[in-house]
Amino acid sequence: MDKLKIAIQKSGRLSEKSLELLRECGIKISKGSQTLKTNSSNFPIEVLFLRDDDIPQYVEQNVADIGILGENEVWEKNRKVETIRKLGFGNCRLSLAIPKDENYTGISYFNNKKVATSYPKILSEFCAENNLYVEIEEISGSVEIAPSIGLAHGIFDIVSTGSTLLMNGLKEVETVTKSEAILIKSENLSHEKQKILEKLLFRIQAVIYSRENKYILLNAPNTAISAIIEVLPGMKSPTVLPLAKEGWSSIHSVIKEDEFWDIIDRLKNLGAESILVVPIEKMIL
Ligand SMILES: Nc1ncnc2c1ncn2[C@@H]1O[C@H](COP(=O)(O)OP(=O)(O)OP(=O)(O)O)[C@@H](O)[C@H]1O
Ligand SMILES: O=P(O)(O)OC[C@H]1O[C@H](OP(=O)(O)OP(=O)(O)O)[C@H](O)[C@@H]1O
Ligand SMILES: [Mg+2]
C-alpha cells in the first residue's frame, strides 16, 4: 500500500507541536534524536524530518506529499504548493525593528537604510508596495544581532513575545504580516494518497476543534434556563437534564475556549452554579 509522505521540521519551533498533532490524530510515530525518516506503525504515513526552509521545495518536487511549516516559509520560497489549512500553532508576526533609542518617524525611516533579514522576498515585496528603497542584507539566523555589530540599521524578522528584540536593544516599529503553522500539499497527489490525506484531515479537524472548544456543565434554576441558553448556544442546542433537586436543571454545552472568560460572569449573574469546564478529547461535527 502507498504511504503518504509528510515533511515536518526536524528541530525547532514547530517540531514538537507537529509531532504532537500527528500523535493526537492517533498516529503512532517513534522517533530517536537522529531519526530523519520513520514510518508510522498504525497509519499509512512516512514522516520526513527536515529543515523547515526546505519543505516547500520537497513538496513542490513530490519528494514529500504534504508538509507542516510556517506560512512565512511558503511566502518566502514561492514554490508551487497548495495550502490546505491553518493548524493553530506557531503563531508569530514578521516585523521591522530598529535600535530602541532611534527616533522612528514612520515607514519612510527605512528609505535608503540597510535591513538584515532571512526573509528577503517578503521584505522586498513590502518595500515595493510602499515605494521604499531598502538595501536588503540577507542572513540566515541570529538576525537581531545585526544592528549592534554594524551590519544593518534595522532588521526584519519573526517576533512572538518580543523578548529577543528586547534582549538585543531593539524595538518593533512595523508589523508587516502574521503567520502560523499550515499544512501544505503537492499539486500532484495520486488518488490513493489523496484518500489517505482526506483521512488525516478528518482527524486533524477533530483534534483542532477539540483544542479550541471546552465542554461546560452547570446547574441552574429552571426559571433561568432560557436566559442561560441564549448565552450558551452549543453545537446544536444545549442539553438540559433535570436535577434531583426540585426546580433545578443541569445544562451541558460546548463553548469556545477563548469565549469562556467573557461569558462566565453573565452565567453567574443569571444564577448558574457549580460550573465545570472540561477538556474535550476529540470533537467531530
Ligand atoms: N518565536 C516564535 N514563536 C512562534 N513561532 C515561531 C517563532 N519563531 C519561529 N516561529 C515559526 O516557526 C518556524 C520555524 O522557526 P525556527 O526558528 O525553528 O526556524 P529555523 O531556525 O529556520 O529552523 P530550521 O533549522 O528548521 O531551518 C518559523 O518559520 C515560524 O513560522
Ligand atoms: O519574540 P520572541 O518570542 O523572542 O521570538 C522571536 C525569535 O524566535 C525565533 O528564533 P528562535 O528562538 O526559534 O531561534 P533561531 O534564531 O535559531 O531560529 C525568531 O527568529 C526570533 O529570533
Ligand atoms: Mg530554517
Task: Write down the pLDDT at residue 45.
Answer: 98
Task: Write down the pLDDT at residue 235.
Answer: 65
Place of cell 479537524: 205
* Residue among 8, 138, 140, 158 to mutate when testing ligand 1 (max atoms within 8 A of CB): 158
Compute the CA torsion angle 274, 275, 279, 285 (nearest 10 deg).
Answer: 120
Quote the ligand 2 centre to 159 CA distance (angstroms): 7
Task: Write down the pLDDT at residue 54.
Answer: 97
> Which CATH number describes the domain made up of 92-179?
3.40.190.10
Task: Write down the pLDDT at residue 234.
Answer: 67
Query: pTM of the entire structure?
Result: 0.93
Q: Tens-of-pLDDT digits for all 285 residues of the chain?
A: 799 999 999 999 999 999 999 999 999 998 877 889 999 999 999 999 999 999 999 999 999 999 999 999 999 999 999 999 999 999 999 999 999 999 999 999 999 999 999 999 999 999 999 999 999 999 999 999 999 999 999 999 999 999 999 999 999 999 999 999 999 999 999 999 999 999 999 999 999 999 999 999 999 999 999 999 998 866 678 899 999 999 999 999 999 988 888 888 999 999 999 999 999 999 898
Dig out the grid coordinates for 25 from the structure: 490524530
Q: State how far the Cα of 217 lies from the Cα of 166, in Å rounded to an integer.
A: 43
Q: Range(s) for CATH 3.30.70.120 in the chain?
A: 213-279
Q: What CATH topology corresponds to 4-88+181-189? A: D-Maltodextrin-Binding Protein; domain 2 (3.40.190)
Q: Range(s) for CATH 3.40.190.10 in the chain?
A: 4-88+181-189, 92-179
**Residue 277 dihedral angles phi and psi, to the nearest 5°:** -125, 120
* Residue among 142, 158, 168, 178 to mutate when testing ligand 2 (max atoms within 8 A of CB): 158
> Which CATH number describes the domain made up of 213-279?
3.30.70.120
**Residue 136 dihedral angles phi and psi, to the nearest 5°:** -95, 125
252 CB-side CA count, 13 A:
8
Task: Write down the pLDDT at residue 90.
Answer: 98
Task: Write down the pLDDT at residue 258.
Answer: 83
Task: Write down the pLDDT at residue 18.
Answer: 98
